[in-house]
């Protein structure tokens, strides 16, 4: 009988170390994965990095995208876990293709990634017991943490080519067009097929070259990016990532774009910031290219229609002594709007982490406050949890729960990023798990990566009820998928059904 292992998927910049028998999978092009194994304790971990060496002052949220930092961190994590000297570990290295589907990496990152892995493992006196590197094709990789076994399958050329995502850049600034092209093509799985200075040129590129994803400037002369998005969305399923200066005055346009169906938004880059913002831009554009385009306007209207129907007769039965904690990322602003607008006026104290920049979190909270029948505000340090109050974590800060004389309040801290995020869902969920235990309900919505999965599992293990958004309704089925695969999700539901499921869980959750 074959064993069934919990499965974890590793993305660029992720580090996974499992104390239980697990299978870690990833797909590699020029990136490299290092698998580290303790034969004595039968545990192991794996990292997936994109570039050899980190630039100066790299933010901690981006650190594990670079081999020199990621490998050292994995070694330290395994040493801390096992108490062993690093020289007792075994390493396997794979990846580092020179090109993907005939598209060479502009930085020749593959060979450099392999070399940095060898150098750092040698420095820590860790023997490399297996190596599958180089070549021109990508690899599918599986690592079994209990045995140290590594499976590597070379991808077929047609399969590899399907991994290449065609990008159309639409921006009236030639400098920005060229800069974005330079940033994106550092990833061999992204190929820029056109540079359009306006929407007229963009439509010609779309008809001729059929891109997988578009980057679209918000501000352009003539037909703005937002106006054009409103024009094409009713007839297009092309994923769009908006380009914004991430200044306060862009907030309304960014949120309007997301309402219309844009997948995400990124900061307009400058030449001096390539090393810092480049990895995040590539990650967001690639994720968007695989994302579902969901028109939230119709969903929000349906959710509003559900609100009074689904909540009738339930408000008196809802256990208002619970704490509702929700986490979301890519696609989350509209998903949260859909969920929150469908809840009744009386809800338990609620705390939310949405991955969002500092300049937009207050605007997002204000927009929710305008459409919800209860108070929604950007959290301030010391804010108390109250019935029918929703606290949104401020961008660029961490939020956790703390006991006070009246029950609970939030602490807003400048603690380091968790899972590369600040605010982090895991950071919040772990505090809810430890302080609230079985009197909590946790919900994880659409988003890229794995933030929140561990915290939600912590919540469930302490008796909390947990829900996760299903794949069909998620813009990016990343965070909910990892949470589900780890056993953290008790109830899987579509976005439109999540409010009803929250109410049902609250209704029958009678705690003493």
Contacts of 171 (CB under 8 A, 6+ apart): 177, 180, 196, 197, 215, 216, 217, 220, 243
Query: Does a structural domain hold residue 63?
Result: yes
> Do residues 247 and 266 both lie within one domain?
yes
pLDDT at 347 over 60: yes
Residues 97, 447, 415, 116, Cα dihedral to 10°: 0
> Do residues 279 and 149 both lie within one domain?
no
Relative to beta strand 350-354, strand 323-328 is parallel
Of the candidates 250, 383, 451, 470, the residue annotated as catalytic is 451
> Do residues 494 and 353 both lie within one domain?
yes
Q: Report the CATH number at residue 413.
A: 3.40.50.180
Query: Does a structural domain hold residue 450?
Result: yes
**Sign for the pseudo-dihedral over CA of 459, 465, 471, 474:** negative
The b-or-e profile of 29-64 (16+ CB within 10 A means b, else e) is bbbbbbbbbbeeeebbbbbbbbbbebeeebeebbbb
**Rounded mean pLDDT, 335-347:** 96
Query: Does a structural domain hold residue 470?
Result: yes
For residue 355, indicate whether it is catalytic. Answer: yes
> Do residues 407 and 490 both lie within one domain?
yes
> Do residues 321 and 423 both lie within one domain?
yes
Query: Does a structural domain hold residue 2?
Result: no
Q: How far is CA 424 from the centre of its chain?
A: 10
pTM across the whole model: 0.71
User: Helices marked H in 292-424 — which ranges?
Assistant: 296-311, 332-341, 358-371
Chain segment 473-497, per-residue pLDDT in tens: 999 998 998 898 888 999 999 999 9
> Do residues 267 and 134 both lie within one domain?
no
Domain final position from 290, 316, 336: 290
Cα–Cα nearest to 106, from 182, 13, 195, 162: 182
Q: Report the CATH number at residue 91.
A: 3.30.1330.200
Classify residue 179 by burial, with Cβ atoms within 10 Å: 0-12, 13-18, 19+.
Answer: buried
Q: What was the pLDDT predicted at 301?
A: 45
For residue 451, indicate whether it is catalytic. Answer: yes
pLDDT at 100 over 50: no
Classify residue 459 by burial, with Cβ atoms within 10 Å: 0-12, 13-18, 19+.
Answer: buried
Query: Max CA-CA distance within the chain?
Result: 66
pLDDT at 102 over 70: no
Domain count for the chain, please give it: 3
Chain segment 30-89, per-residue pLDDT in tens: 889 999 999 999 999 999 998 898 887 777 777 888 899 999 999 999 999 999 999 999
> Do residues 112 and 212 both lie within one domain?
no
User: Confidence band (pLDDT; 50, 70, 90) for 508?
Assistant: low
Relative to beta strand 103-104, strand 99-100 is antiparallel
DSSP 66: B
> Do residues 107 and 183 both lie within one domain?
no
> Do residues 279 and 236 both lie within one domain?
yes
Chain segment 369-412, per-residue pLDDT in tens: 999 999 999 999 999 999 999 999 999 999 999 999 889 999 99
Query: Does a structural domain hold residue 213?
Result: yes
> Do residues 239 and 319 both lie within one domain?
no
Q: Is-contact 455 426, C-beta < 8 A?
A: yes
Q: Report the CATH number at residue 238.
A: 3.40.50.2300
User: Confidence band (pLDDT; 50, 70, 90) for 330?
Assistant: very high
> Do residues 172 and 113 both lie within one domain?
no
> Do residues 375 and 242 both lie within one domain?
no
Q: What was the pLDDT predicted at 313?
A: 42
Of the candidates 355, 361, 383, 388, the residue annotated as catalytic is 355
Classify residue 346 by burial, with Cβ atoms within 10 Å: 0-12, 13-18, 19+.
Answer: middle
Provide the 3-class DSSP secondary structure of residue 423: coil
Query: Does a structural domain hold residue 1?
Result: no
Q: Residue 18: which domain range?
A: 7-158
Of the candidates 61, 329, 338, 424, the residue annotated as catalytic is 329
Q: What was the pLDDT predicted at 237?
A: 84
Domain final position from 235, 263, 290: 290
**Sign for the pseudo-dihedral over CA of 137, 142, 143, 147:** negative
Q: What was the pLDDT predicted at 127?
A: 97
For residue 329, indicate whether it is catalytic. Answer: yes
Domain final position from 111, 127, 158: 158
Mean pLDDT, the chain, rounded, equals 87
Chain segment 143-197, per-residue pLDDT in tens: 999 999 999 988 765 444 456 899 999 999 999 999 999 999 888 789 999 999 9
Contacts of 207 (CB under 8 A, 6+ apart): none
């Amino acid at each position: 009988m074959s064993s069934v292992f919990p499965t974890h998927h590793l993305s660029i910049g992720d580090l996974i170390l499992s104390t239980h028998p697990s299978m870690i999978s990833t797909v590699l092009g020029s990136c490299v994965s290092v698998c580290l194994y303790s034969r004595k304790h039968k545990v192991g971990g794996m990292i997936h990095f994109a570039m050899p060496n980190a630039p100066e002052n790299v933010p901690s949220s981006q650190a594990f995208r670079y081999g020199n930092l990621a490998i050292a961190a994995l070694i330290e994590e395994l040493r801390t876990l096992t108490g062993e000297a690093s020289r007792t570990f075994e390493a396997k290295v794979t990846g580092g293709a020179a090109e993907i589907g005939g598209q060479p990496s502009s930085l020749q990152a593959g060979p450099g990634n392999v070399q940095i892995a060898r150098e750092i493992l040698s420095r820590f006196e860790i023997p490399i017991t297996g190596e599958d590197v180089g070549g021109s094709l990508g690899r599918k990789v599986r690592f079994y943490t209990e045995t140290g076994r590594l499976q590597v399958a070379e991808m077929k050329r047609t399969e590899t080519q399907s991994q290449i995502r065609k990008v159309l850049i639409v921006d009236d600034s030639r400098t920005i067009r060229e800069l974005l092209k330079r940033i994106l093509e550092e990833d061999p799985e992204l190929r820029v097929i056109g540079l359009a200075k306006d929407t007229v040129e963009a439509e010609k590129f779309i008809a001729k070259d059929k891109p997988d994803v578009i980057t679209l400037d918000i501000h352009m002369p003539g037909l703005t990016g937002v106006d054009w998005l409103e024009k094409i969305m009713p007839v297009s399923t092309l994923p769009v990532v908006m380009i914004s200066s991430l200044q306060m005055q862009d907030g309304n346009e960014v949120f309007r774009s997301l309402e219309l169906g844009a997948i995400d938004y990124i900061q307009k880059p400058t030449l001096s910031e390539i090393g810092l913002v480049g990895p995040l831009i590539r990650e967001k554009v690639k994720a968007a290219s695989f994302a579902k385009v969901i028109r939230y306007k119709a969903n929000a209207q349906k959710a509003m229609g559900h609100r009074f129907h689904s909540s009738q007769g339930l408000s008196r039965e809802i256990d208002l002594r619970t704490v509702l904690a929700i986490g979301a990322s890519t696609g989350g602003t509209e998903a949260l709007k859909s969920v929150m607008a469908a809840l009744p006026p009386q809800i338990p104290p609620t705390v939310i982490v949405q991955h969002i920049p500092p300049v937009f979190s207050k605007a997002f909270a204000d927009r929710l406050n305008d459409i919800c029948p209860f108070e929604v505000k950007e959290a301030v340090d010391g804010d108390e949890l109250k019935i029918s109050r929703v606290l949104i974590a401020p961008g660029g800060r961490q939020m956790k729960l703390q006991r006070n004389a009246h029950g609970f309040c939030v602490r807003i801290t400048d603690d380091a990023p968790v899972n590369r995020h600040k605010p982090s869902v895991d950071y919040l969920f772990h505090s809810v798990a430890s302080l609230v235990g079985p009197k909590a309900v946790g919900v994880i919505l659409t988003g890229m990566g794995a933030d929140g999965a561990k915290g939600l599992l912590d919540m469930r293990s302490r008796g909390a009820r947990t829900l996760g958004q299903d794949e069909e309704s998620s813009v990016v089925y990343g965070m909910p998928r990892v949470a589900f695969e780890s056993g953290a999700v008790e109830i899987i539901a579509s976005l439109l059904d999540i409010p009803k499921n929250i109410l049902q869980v609250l209704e029958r959750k009678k705690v003493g």
